[in-house]
Structures are given as structure tokens and as C-alpha cells.
Structure 1
Amino acid sequence: MEIRLMKHRIPKILLTFLSGMLTALPIMYPKLFVIGIISFAIPAFIEYTAEGKACRLRSAYLRGLAFFMGFGLIVFSWFTAMYPLEFTGLSKVAAVGVVCAGSLGLSLLQALFWGLMFLVSRLFDKLFCTGKNPLVYSLVFSCLYVVFEWMSTKTWAAVPWGRLAVGQSEFLPMVQIASVTGSYGVSFILVLVGCTLGVCCSEYRKHRSKLTLRPLIPVAVVLVLNIVFGCVRLMTYEVSEESTKVTVAAIQGNVSSHDKWTSDTFEETKENYTKLTHAAVAEGADIVIFPETPVNYNLQGSSGYYVKSFYESLAADADCIIVTGAFTKNDDGISENSIVVFDPDDGQTEDKYVKRHLVPFGEYVPLRDFVSFVFPPLSSITMLESDLAPGTSPTVFETKYGKIAPLICFDSIYETLAIDSIRAGGELLTVSTNDSWFLDSSGVWEHNRHAVLRSIECGRYTVRSANTGVSSIISPTGEIMDILPPLEDGYIVSDVYMIEENTVYVTIGNVFVILCFAGLVPLVLYSHFMKKKQETENDR
């Protein structure tokens, strides 16, 4: 299981591990987007050339495990920036354990699942000889990747932080297809290009014939057409004349998770947000977006009256609509992470949005009894006294300017939550988030890039407000119109439009994922047919 590189031999599993790290680099540094277009050539080359024991299903799974372990270690490297987790009160030893559990544990958890993709690909080759045709092999691999990426959004353990499309978010022509297929279309193209390149290199190495490179032609056409589509959309996109123009602001108070939970912070926070809000309104802001729970008091708790009075007074004095995160309680008295709206004339509106996808170990502890027994510090990092209750449906706030569809923090990495909010009538997306856990690590930037994808998928302007950054205002084509770096207090203001028209993706949803899943059937049947045909010819 070795491959020659220069004068040395490198184990294939190590090379696969390193290629996983390489594939993840654009997610951290999107200016390296070209790497994301070709990086799958390495694992595809290794899988396609596997012989003997390397063809075993177990070997394929281990290589998949290695690839996605390397991938995860880069994607989740920002966990190290959280050390020493002072706001949790954990000892330094316990903090090291929690950071390792986050970085190594989450990477391993993801890799254990994703490794099955390599196994299934090898199984298809064994049963149906999909590896006999380079283009079929690449198509099968690409379809499998899309299906697994979609499955990685399900259950509490699924954290789709490392979507391949995130690494292309600064190459806007590449990701415009997300308005039709979601980010899955971007992933499909990236894997298809890289995989076909790797397989064709393998075939050329074996046969030394330029004819072996022919599968690259249709794949190159797909890549070019996608980029052309993106360029055309960027150049021709226009907001409907019927759309309402409104000036929005995102406030960044720069209050960390640690400071937010100290008793003397509330007055300072009030003063800071009052100052920033009035400054934003002075620049024309009609709607002001606050971060996720800028103060830690529950609106329906003992101190809720003072918090509510502050927001109502600020909205009235500044004469603006305030959209803010806040803790609330449901009918059972369980706390929720919510978004509420304060109107300058009517005070707090009746509706509230409750965060639908809570952060595991941050807002609730999955398998609490088991986790508390195996590794108690992991069940203690949440600052909350008890688990929060998740929301079950989208909420759209109707204002005199238009309909606002809010998301909270972790919600924004799940495309279905954004789509549901738009289908419910949302004309403007807002994301209120904390992100102070990440400090100024790559995590804050990666999280913001997910908002870029949601803007393109939904065809909406997105206003993103973070406690300590990054705060941004994003156009429906993914252009960042204004941005505020992390660990600074301030505000950003921009004109946006309330948009009613839906993108193709909002209309049809994840049909592309279904097509990829269904497309596996004709691909394997074709391979099986060609296998039987070859066997018949050999018997003659």
C-alpha cells in the first residue's frame, strides 16, 4: 500500500490523509479555491489504482477515514482558539480535554461516517465494475459525495461545517449555481473535476495514450459552463422594481461570552448598544439587527422587565425597528434561544423566532447521562443551567418595510432552515450569532461564508450581526457589501431590498440531491451491462 514519490515511498493511507488536509485548505483560506477544484485528483488516483489487498472494502474504508480525518483536522482547527475556555470555569486540564474532544473528536466522528463513502464506491466497483469506465467511476464518486454531504446535515452529530462550496465563496462565478442546486451542485462539480483528473492520470500512466484523457473534455465543459453561468448571473442580476428599498444596520457590541455572563456587564452593554444604534440610525438605518442574546437575561425572567424596557425605549428613541436575540421561555417554562422584534411605535411584537438547530454541548447536551459519565467536563461547558428547548418552525416578522426571516447562529449552516424561512414569506434574511467562542480564528470567517451560500441559495440580502464579529451585509449574489472584522465594536450600514421572487433552489429544494441518488442506478446498471457484454465477447 505504497506509492512512489521521487525516491521515497509514501504509504497510500498517509497520502490520502494529507490530501484530505489539502482539500480542506480553501475552506480556511478561500483564496486557494483552485486547490478545491483539483484536490480530489489525489484520492481518486489512489482509489482507482488500488490493487490486491488495497481493493478490500476494509482498506477502502480506512483510506476514506484517513482522508476525512485530515479534512476535519483542518476544518475544525479553530477549536484550539477556544482554549482555555475561561468563561466556562473549567480547569486548564479539563479545557485541553474539551478542545481535543472538539477538534479531534468531531473530526473522528465525521470521518467515521464519511469513510463509508469510499467503502460504497469500492463496493460498487466490485459488484458492478464501475471502475472500468473512468467517466462512470468519476460520476459515481461525485454522486456519492453529494448524497453523503446531504446526509451529513441530519441528526445532532451531523455538522456540515466543511461544505466544499464554502471554499469557493470568494470565487463567486463558481457558486452561483447554488441558486439552482444549492451548494450540492458546487460540490458535485468540484469532486467530478478532481476525480476525473485523477482517474485520467492513472489511465495515462498505464497506457501512455492521449486517448485516455478524453473524459476530461466533457468534464471541462461542465466546469466552464458553470463558471460562465455564474459570470452571466453576476453581470445580469437585478432586483425587481417592485422590491422595497430599506436601510439596514448590523450592530457589533464586541461583548464576549465570558463578559456577557458577568453581573456588571448589563449597564455597559446598554450604553454601548445605545450609542451604536443611534449612530447607525444617524446614517439612515431603518432596521437595526442585534446579535444573538447580547444580554443574558431572560425576557420572561425576574429581570426581563428591565431588558424589555431597554429595547422598547431604544427602538422608540432611535425611531427604528430592532431585531435582537434574547432568551425567552416556552409554555412549559423551558428557556429558548430566540429572536424578538421591537417596533418604535408598538414595542415588542407578539411573534418570536426560536432557534431550531441548537449547538450540541453549547446549548444542550446530547446523551447527557453517557457524556457525564465518560467525560464530565464536556457536559459542563455550557453556561446554561439546563438544556434549551429547540424551535420547530420558521417565523417571519412582518414590518412596515417588509418581511424579515431570522436565523440564529448554528441555524445558518443548514440550508433547509433558510429555505423554510423564505418559503414562509421571508423577504430579508437576518443572522444573529455569537461567535465569540471563536475569537478571531478561522472559525468566524468560515461561519460567515456559510451566510454567503445562504444568500445565493435563497436569493435574498442577508444581514449578519455577531457579538464579537464577523458582522456583514451580503447581497443575493454572495457579494459582501460591508463587513466588520472580529474583536471590534462598531456597526455597518447598507441599503438592501425586500425581495419576493424565489430562486429555483427555493422552489424545488434538494431535487439535485435526489437526482444524484437516483443517478447512481443507471450508472451502475450501465457498468454491469458493459461487464456482461465484455464477458460474453470473451467467451466467444
Structure 2
Amino acid sequence: MKRIHRLLLSGCAGLLLSLPWFGLPGWILFFAFVPLLYLEHFFYKYKEGFPTVSLWGHVFFAALIWNILASWWMTKVSLVGVGSAMIFNAFLMSTVWWAAHSIRRDLSSPLGYISLVVFWISLEYLQFSWDIEWPCLQLGSVLASNLKIIQWYEYTGTFGGTLWILLLNIFLFKLLQSFLDKTKQLKVKLTYVTVSGLFILVPIVWSLILYTGYTEEKNPIHISIIQPNVDPYTEKFDMESEEQKLDDFLRLATHVTTDSTDLIVGPETVFEHQYLWNEDGFQSNHFLNELQHFLNNFKKAELVFGVSSFKVYENEDEITPSAQNKDGVIYDRFNTALLLDRAGETQIYHKSKLVAGVEKVPFQKYFSVLKNNYIDLGGTSGTLGRQTEASNLEMQNGVVIAPVICFESVFGAYVSDYVKKGAELIVVMTNDGWWKNSRGYKQHLLFSQLRAIETRRSIARAANTGTSCFINQRGEVLQATNWWEAAAISGCVNKNDEITYYVEHGDFIPRAAIFVSIMIVLLVFVRRFR
């Protein structure tokens, strides 16, 4: 095979892998890896003439195309930072293929394919778990555009989708290989046809049964959602601007709030003036007083919304690694969700899953000198404080809600922690205006749909702009607002207190993959040592 043909195969794989992130059906991933598997087999077949690094370069080329085409919209925030992350992610992806290819060469063909599957899933899990998270290219997540075929995520989470995609690619490649190899017997070809067909049909049929058979228990809560539509690139952070945002928020809320309304939901950082939201002074906060006065016009309405708050530390024991020191005052800034009831009482949740390079410095405890070096995104930027685990907010009527802020909706296991602690309803507060009119805000919505399926919780999603909506327990979007329009919607969603298998057991698939990966690596070392 000539070099140009190999590069064309790599480019084809990169293009196929990126297509679902442009809104095309997620099932394209069922065969998107086949060109790379064909290349891997070529280098395996002619391994005497090519070093193992030959495959690495071809996969890196495909992975870089995939990263760029699927994530280009992130460069609207930082070309250098996001570009570096793309290159690094492509490096990790290609290294997984190189490692699996090396094992296939040195040990056995089946073990090589097993290694590819478990190494890839382990890499995806790492992308959710370490301090420079890059989970947006997870294979299983993009199937959210095909909700009816992934209802079984309530058992496996999105890693079940990744496993499904990888196995299908391998079996479809083996099927293609059997037809290209004229020496293969008809029995072998029929075996691959049967196995591939079962791998495609069984999960889809199972999902359709779950989809048609799932009925929400009637347990309604009436919610109003506010979409202020503030441009994050031009907004100001002075008192006059904050007052205008308050007026606009209340004007929109007036149109959809009635005596039947239980909860009003605002987006992330409705108010961002960092010096106006001292957590020790909420009782005298002008904005909270105005919002409470508005709530008193209705029988039972409460309000949950986002602000940029801060907390001053008087005692040295309270100081955190993320704390700032300005003129001798030591404090933390937070991306905060506030629940305000009619009595003026507040409950606080601090965003825990922070965006690397924007809201936190990765590995800060090792590189504290970089604390104040970050991408400037206005009021929510800088090294923020965080809480270490998920915590719920409880309304006066006893309804327990999960306050999920922006990036946190990407993390299935983290959102499940809210549900384990009693959340009956999920509220997602976000500001998708940073991504402008790109695929960014559309892709972000898909993660909320996945969380609804995994937890079987209804979701009220409030975006500053983008898509504000309700999402039912099957992951379907209801009453979606338009992009770049101030809007307010109102509707009822059902609470739920049942625990799904995924919520109870978490990400058991990647845990198993990591265990198998460790065993394979140990086997390789033992064989090399002997």
C-alpha cells in the first residue's frame, strides 16, 4: 500500500469520526474506525518492513483531524490553549493504538484487539477524572443524537456506548476482512455476519423496548425557566449593568410566573459583579432583597440561579489552595448556585467540576505559581474555589433538586452522586454564550439529555443563551428556546425517586477496563522480562 493511500485512509477515519459532532447520526461511529483498523492490519501483516511507530503517525493524523473538526468551536475562547489540548489529546489517542498494535505484534492478535478496547475506555475514563479534563469527544456520549437506541444507558452509562462502538468496529472490520480474503470459508463469513448483526440489533431492540415501555410517574412540579440572553463578550460588571440584568430578569420572570409556580430557574452567573456577592452578607444583599420581594407576589414560588460569589477567610485553618490575597484580605471566589425561598433564606452550592485553564489551574497544588494565570472570561474566570463533592438544595415543599452548573453536566458519575443523595429533579444552569452560534451549545445540550436517561430524572435547563428547555426522563427535549433570544418558558415536569442501575453502581465498565489493562501491562512486562 502506498503512503498516499495510507494517508487517505487516515484522513477518511478522521473525517468519519468527526461527522457526528456536526449533527449527523451518531451511528456513523459504528464503522468510523474501520479505516484505521484496516491500516493497523496492514502494518501487522507487514510488520517486518515497518516499525510499530508507523501506525502511531497515521492514527495521530486521523485523531488530530477528528479533534480539530469536532472541537474547533472551543478555540473561540483560546486558540493557543485549546489548540494545545487538541494536539495532546490526539497524542494520547494515537498512543493507545500504538500500544495495542505492539501487543498484537508481540503476543497475539485477539489480545491486541482486547487491548485496544480496554486501553481506549481507560483513556476516556482518564479524560473524565484527572485535572485537565477533555471528555467532550467520548464515543458513547455522541449517541445522544439517537435517543431511542441508547435507553439502556440507565444500566451502563455512556461507557456502555463506547464499548458498543468499539466492538462493532472490530467485528465489522473482521467481516470486511473475511470478504476481502477469498480464502475464508463461507462458514467464517456467516459467523461474522451473524455476530455483527447481533451486536447491532440486540442493544437497539432492547433500547426500543425500554423507550416504549417507560412511563413517568405523575408527580409534577411547576417550573419557570428564564433565558436573559446577555452577551458574555460585551457585558459589563459595574453596578449599573447588574441593576439592568436584575430588571431584565424580573421582567422575563413576570411573564411566566403564577401562583402555581413552584420554582423559577435562572442560568449560571446571572449576576457577576464579584464584589457584590459576599456570602457572609447575603442577609443585606440588595439583589436578594429585590428577588425575595418579587417572590412574595406569588403563593409558593422559590428561585434558583447562579452568581459569582466570594467568601473571606478570617481563620488561617479555613484557607484553601485556591484562595486569593488582595491587600491582606484572603478570600475565595466561587461559581455559585443559590436557592432563595420566600422567607429570604438561602442555600448555596459551589461549582465543583471547574474548567481547566478558565476556572482553575490544573495540578495547582504542584504549580501554585500559576494560580493567577488563566484565560480571561470575565466574571467567572480565574482560579475559583470549589466544593469537593455534589450536594443538593431542598425547597420548602421538600423537593430535593440537584444544582448542576454548566461543565458539570458532562460528568455522568458526578451527576449520579446528586441522585444518590436524594435528588428528585435536576436543574442545569449554564452560560453557552461563550461558544457563540456554533456546535458548542448544541453539543452541550446533548449531555443533559444523557444525564436524564442515566438517572431517569427530569431536567430543567436554564441557559443564558443557547437552549433553555425541559428534558423528560427519556431524554427528550421539550419547549426548547431559540438561540440568541431573551426568553422565558413555563411547564411541568415529574419528580422521581427511583434509583437506576447506573446510579447505584456507577462507571463499572471503565473500572473493569482499567483492571484488565493493568493485567495486560503486567503480562507484557513479565513476557519481556523472561
TM-score range, shorter chain: 0.7 to 0.9
Match of 1:52, SS state, is coil
Shift of 1:208: 4.9
In the alignment, structure 1 segments of 5+ residues that lack a partner are 4-8, 86-97, 528-540
One of 348, 351, 357 as aligned partner of 1:355:
351
Matched residue, 1:78: 73
Q: Does residue 79 of structure 2 align to residue 99 of structure 1?
A: yes
Task: Give the AA of the match of 2:21.
Answer: I
One of 303, 306, 310 as aligned partner of 2:286:
306
Query: Residues 267 and 17 of structure 1: is their aligned pair in 2 closer, same or farther, counting only changes over 3 Å?
Result: same
Shift of 1:53: 6.3
Matched residue, 1:288: 264
Matched residue, 1:337: 335
Stretch moving more, 449-458 or 34-43:
34-43
Shift of 1:61: 2.6
Shift of 1:313: 2.0
Distance 1:334 1:160 in 2: 27
Distance 2:267 2:481 in 1: 13
Matched residue, 1:25: 19
Q: Determine if contact 1:352/1:395 at 8 Å carries over to the other structure.
A: no
Q: Does residue 308 of structure 2 align to residue 327 of structure 1?
A: yes
Matched residue, 1:456: 453
Matched residue, 1:201: 176
Task: Give the AA of the match of 2:262.
Answer: D
Matched residue, 1:445: 442
Stretch moving more, 179-188 or 329-338:
329-338
Shift of 1:318: 4.2
Distance 2:180 2:414 in 1: 46
Match of 1:76, SS state, is helix
Task: Give the AA of the match of 2:207.
Answer: G
Q: Determine if contact 1:293/1:325 at 8 Å carries over to the other structure.
A: yes
Shift of 1:307: 2.0
Distance 1:20 1:201 in 2: 19
Matched residue, 2:316: none
Deviations 1:227-277 (A, max 9, x none): 111111111112236xx3111222100012134434332232122211221
One of 85, 89, 105 as aligned partner of 1:126:
105
- Correspondence 1:417-456 to 2 at 5 A: 417-456=414-453
Match of 2:181, SS state, is helix
Query: Residues 456 and 211 of structure 1: is their aligned pair in 2 closer, same or farther, counting only changes over 3 Å?
Result: same
In the alignment, structure 2 segments of 5+ residues that lack a partner are 314-330, 525-530
Query: Residues 524 and 359 of structure 1: is their aligned pair in 2 closer, same or farther, counting only changes over 3 Å?
Result: closer
Distance 1:20 1:188 in 2: 19
Distance 2:523 2:278 in 1: 62
Shift of 1:377: 8.8
After TM superposition, the score normalised by the length of structure 1 is 0.84
Matched residue, 1:185: 160
Q: Determine if contact 2:154/2:453 at 8 Å carries over to the other structure.
A: yes
Match of 1:361, SS state, is coil
Q: Does residue 204 of structure 2 align to residue 223 of structure 1?
A: no
Shift of 1:100: 4.2
Shift of 1:403: 0.5
Task: Give the AA of the match of 1:130.
Answer: S
Shift of 1:316: 2.2
Q: RMSD over aligned Cα, in angstroms?
A: 3.1
Deviations 1:323-366 (A, max 9, x none): 1111223463211111110112x2232x3111011112222344
Task: Give the AA of the match of 2:405.
Answer: I
Identity across aligned pairs (percent)? 20
After TM superposition, the score normalised by the length of structure 2 is 0.85
One of 207, 215, 221 as aligned partner of 1:238:
215
Query: Residues 384 and 481 of structure 1: is their aligned pair in 2 closer, same or farther, counting only changes over 3 Å?
Result: closer
Query: Residues 122 and 311 of structure 1: is their aligned pair in 2 closer, same or farther, counting only changes over 3 Å?
Result: same
Give the number of equivalent residue pairs.
495
Deviations 1:404-431 (A, max 9, x none): 0111111111112101111111111111
Shift of 1:14: 4.8
Distance 2:116 2:382 in 1: 43
